[in-house]
Structure 1
């Protein structure tokens, strides 16, 4: 559909051509050419860019509404009606948690209802759709997906087609964000001991090169279908022996900041598809001996953003129900993640969102430096929505 600027430019051009044609037909060859002048016309207004559209949205949001954009809240797939109230709270997104056999058409209707209830920009509607053991949506409209390990050995054209088909099925259900693919590297022979990833065949291969190739193909395939991908779990869960969802004090004593399983995230994130990066809640002593990754400025800001150059959305792993974060008060989880350089707080437990927002607002009011960090996170979050077509205009 032509823009207003293009329509005005076309109209002006037609008027000018008409005037020139009339002048030519009314003059005789023997008549001296009359000098004509055209009135100065104002240049057509420039089409608003992404930053302009973000500015427009920000002017319509009070501070609490801005901060709410930094939260993605879980909604159980067996109780999707409970998402209505969360959508009305103006959060940035909703995460369909669990497993479902509902048809894609039913999910699309629910997602559309959530969008209509949201008082702010359109919501991210997210899901875990990896394949194999981690395929949240299995009803009509969703093909059975092989595990990531099986996907990783497919010829690239087949994997690209599979990823695009997976993305198309998600988009048809109103889902705009897939919390996939896993970009963790599990060394061959250690799969059974790697509880969160290798034991479920969630890895695309046993080397950084293999994972980068396959996961990159999935990112691009999802993008071609209009779904944003999420690279997880930075700086990697391929060398741990416990699951942060169910275990406290999960530690990876091996991974360092320059290891290939870390730097591959930069390679994958440097994509026109603009994938998100999810940060784990394990601890990496060779990077930061004191803080879990999700709460670590050394991991999120100095490594991911500064050393590896990632400027996009950093989303947390679950900061709601995960056992790894239960020793930290909920409000502090959100504050510390954002202070570390994160963008979107994911909490599977939606009941924690008000407490988390209150904590962020309290710190925001008391700490000018933190307030500037929140400003940057809100802008990053909204720019991602603009790129995904979730902002008005």
Structure 2
């Protein structure tokens, strides 16, 4: 594959000051990727930085998460491959020939998406992209700096990945309202989902196409949007992760499906892939999985209206589906959905054969009682294809090491890695 080699890391580092200035003086906003909002009362608290940090960015502190695996970078295993199938894959099955001849480390790298702070170049992320074959970055935080500094930062990440077999997923959260990572010249101020739902779907699709074109011009090819969580009417204020921040496309299945699908169609028309979230729905919880442990939904089951909403998004053509990290007692009372084969399997039962991505597993309080490496292993073992480590990218190294170790030790797990890598590579075909 011919690679475009844009602005290098040194040039990107010069832009750190402009990006930081763009963020200065802004009020605190909710963290992107999952569920924003203040810590809930009664919340229970239940990495490895790679390489040397850029001189313009402070080095992150080492991860406090214990890891049962060797945190060091695994030795290459260039002969480990996914055997090419003898015939075309069955409908819905991944095409393993896409990763035939790849090393285990190359395949594992495709399963991890690492946070890249938008305030400026972050050398540990660039090092992981280059050395651990990382397949995706997530632009994390908030910036008012506008398109060009963001594009330069993206170009630096793409340059770090230039020797890889596949293009880099460059993702962000550009929902609108309080969850909009990129602002400034070249980016529209996008209204909240509640306000978007007041538009005619055709008008919303046209606007979303423009918003997608703005992302594409900055080098972003994946928007972890739209939110398809179904919030019951009258309960928005009590729904900390979604309703309280106006992130729902109305309060009925018809409103959510019509408007969320219109938003997604506009983004994809601009060449930006979408991820609907947070399956099977965060509309009925009262606490925030980012800031609270033990978040549980006791009402949503496999046949719930919220699941039907996601079915609509799948049928409309989304490329990715994001899993919630809440526990759903009527689906699997024993594990957060992102770690539950039953919950993840329900996505496949809806006919989805694309990429299933986790919510952030690097810093969400809901899951930090589990060592970082094992969060990644449990997610992939449950059927997740792409592990998001956005808020605390330093732990991504532990995740990579744990995934490699688990695949070396267990052939069944190695087969899951092969399948997940093949799905991710297939999803990148149009990039």
Residue in 2 that maps onto 1:284: 328
Question: Is 1:219–1:275's contact at 8 Å kept on the other side of the alignment?
Answer: no
**SS of structure 2 residue aligned to 1:154:** coil
Q: Partners of 1:278 and 1:57 in 2: how far apart?
A: 23
Q: Partners of 1:354 and 1:156 in 2: how far apart?
A: 42
**SS of structure 1 residue aligned to 2:399:** helix
Question: Once the 2 structures are TM-superposed, how far is the Cα of residue 347 of structure 1 from its aligned partner?
Answer: 0.7
Question: Is 1:245–1:324's contact at 8 Å kept on the other side of the alignment?
Answer: yes
| Cα deviation digits, residues 125-159 of structure 1 (max 9, x gap) | 11110001111111110011110000011012220
**SS of structure 2 residue aligned to 1:107:** helix
More displaced 10-residue stretch of structure 1: 247-256 or 362-371: 362-371
Q: Partners of 1:102 and 1:59 in 2: how far apart?
A: 42
Larger radius of gyration: 1
Residue in 2 that maps onto 1:125: 170
Residue in 2 that maps onto 1:237: 282
Residue in 2 that maps onto 1:101: 144
Q: Partners of 2:420 and 2:115 in 1: how far apart?
A: 20
**SS of structure 2 residue aligned to 1:305:** helix
Residue in 2 that maps onto 1:366: 409
Residue 139 (str. 1) matches residue 184 (str. 2) = yes
Question: Is 1:250–1:324's contact at 8 Å kept on the other side of the alignment?
Answer: yes
More helix by share: 1
Gaps (5+ residues) in structure 2? 1-87
Residue in 1 that maps onto 2:337: 293
Question: Is 1:279–1:314's contact at 8 Å kept on the other side of the alignment?
Answer: yes
What does residue range 1-393 of structure 1 map to in structure 2 within 5 Å? 58-59=99-100, 61-82=102-123, 83-89=125-131, 90-118=133-161, 119-120=163-164, 121-272=166-317, 274-301=318-345, 303-306=346-349, 308-348=350-390, 349-386=392-429, 388-389=430-431
Q: Partners of 2:105 and 2:379 in 1: how far apart?
A: 18
**SS of structure 2 residue aligned to 1:345:** strand
Question: Is 2:319–2:427's contact at 8 Å kept on the other side of the alignment?
Answer: no
Count of matched residue pairs: 335
Residue in 2 that maps onto 1:25: none
Question: Is 2:96–2:418's contact at 8 Å kept on the other side of the alignment?
Answer: no
| Cα deviation digits, residues 284-323 of structure 1 (max 9, x gap) | 000001010000000001x1112x1211100000000100
**SS of structure 2 residue aligned to 1:142:** coil
Question: Once the 2 structures are TM-superposed, how far is the Cα of residue 59 of structure 1 from its aligned partner?
Answer: 4.7
Residue in 2 that maps onto 1:10: none
**SS of structure 2 residue aligned to 1:351:** helix
Q: Provide the alpha-carbon RMSD of the alignment.
A: 1.8
**SS of structure 2 residue aligned to 1:322:** coil
Q: Partners of 1:141 and 1:234 in 2: how far apart?
A: 32
Residue in 1 that maps onto 2:31: none
Question: Is 2:99–2:418's contact at 8 Å kept on the other side of the alignment?
Answer: no
Q: Partners of 2:89 and 2:223 in 1: how far apart?
A: 23
**SS of structure 2 residue aligned to 1:229:** strand
Decide whether aligned partners of structure 1 residues 304 and 59 sit closer, same or farther in structure 2, where only a CA change above 3 A counts.
Answer: closer
**SS of structure 1 residue aligned to 2:428:** helix
Question: Is 1:93–1:125's contact at 8 Å kept on the other side of the alignment?
Answer: yes
Question: Is 2:230–2:309's contact at 8 Å kept on the other side of the alignment?
Answer: no
**SS of structure 1 residue aligned to 2:227:** coil
Question: Is 1:319–1:347's contact at 8 Å kept on the other side of the alignment?
Answer: yes
Question: Is 1:86–1:350's contact at 8 Å kept on the other side of the alignment?
Answer: no
Residue in 2 that maps onto 1:43: none
Q: Partners of 2:257 and 2:147 in 1: how far apart?
A: 30
Q: Partners of 2:160 and 2:129 in 1: how far apart?
A: 6
